[in-house]
Amino acid sequence: MEKESFSALSWMTEEMKDAIRDREKIVQEENIEKLFSLRDNSDFSIALYEILVNRHDKNPNSLNQIQLNLFLSMHMENAGQADSILSFLQERFPEHKEQIVKSLNEIGAIKSSKIIKQAIELLPENDSWFFDSSDENSERIMMKLDSEFSNYPDGPMEDLYFKYAEKHKNKLEKPTYKNTYK
C-alpha cells in the first residue's frame, strides 16, 4: 500500500501501517522466511492467503498438495463467513468439493470437515443447482450446516493454518511452474 493511500486511514497508528507495509512486501516477494516472522496469526494468514491466491492466479496447477490444502481451506472459510458454504461448493470451486473435505482434515479442522461432508451429501448428484431440487427440509439443514461451519467448530482457523504451514514450511516455497500446455 502506498504511503498516500493510508491518508484515508487516519485512525491507524504508524505501527499498524508499518505492519501492513511489511506484510505486503512479504506477499510481493513471496518471502516464506519473513512470513513466519509475523507476530500475529491473523497477519500470517492474510499474507499466506494472498501469496497462495497470487500463485493460483498465475497458474492454477502450480500449487502443491500442502499449498492446495491451505488455499482451499482459506477459501472455504471466506465463503462461510462472507456468503455461504454453498457458494464455495457450487460456484467458486465445485471441482474441489471432495478435496475440501480432505484439505480441512489435513489442516486439523476435523469438525469443519464433517460439516462440509454433510453439506456435499445434500447436493444433487448430477451437479445441478442445489435450489433446483431442494426442499424445505434440505434447505433448513444446509442453513444449519452453514451456521455451524461459520461458528468455527475447530477454533480459530488462523491458528490451524499457522500450525499446518509451520509443519510443512519447506513445501511453501516458491513453486516451479509446470508447463500445462501440450
Say whether pLDDT at 178 is over 70.
no
- What pLDDT is recorded for position 2? 46
Whether 160 and 140 have beta carbons less than 8 Å apart is answered as no
Q: What is the pTM of this model?
A: 0.86
Task: pLDDT band for 111, please (50, 70, 90 cuts).
Answer: very high
Quote the mean pLDDT of the chain: 88
Q: Quickly state the pLDDT bin for 77 (edges 50, 70, 90).
A: very high
Of 39 and 146, more confident:
146
pLDDT band at 175 (very low <50, low <70, confident <90, very high): low
Q: How high is the pLDDT of residue 16?
A: 75
Contact 71, 58 (CB under 8 A): no
14-170 architecture in CATH? Up-down Bundle (1.20)
pLDDT at res. 180? 42
Q: What is the rounded average pLDDT of the residues 120-135? A: 94
Instruction: Answer for the pair 55, 61: CB distance below 8 angstroms, yes or no.
Output: no
Q: Residue 153: is its pLDDT beyond 90?
A: yes
pLDDT digits (tens, 9 = 90+) for 22-62: 889 999 999 999 999 887 888 899 999 999 999 999 998 98
Torsion of CA 65, 69, 72, 73, to 10 degrees: 180
Name the pLDDT band for 179 (thresholds 50, 70, 90).
very low
CA dist list (Å): 15 to 11, 19, 89: 12, 6, 39
30: left (phi over 0), alpha (psi -120 to 50) or beta: left
Task: Return the pLDDT at 17.
Answer: 79
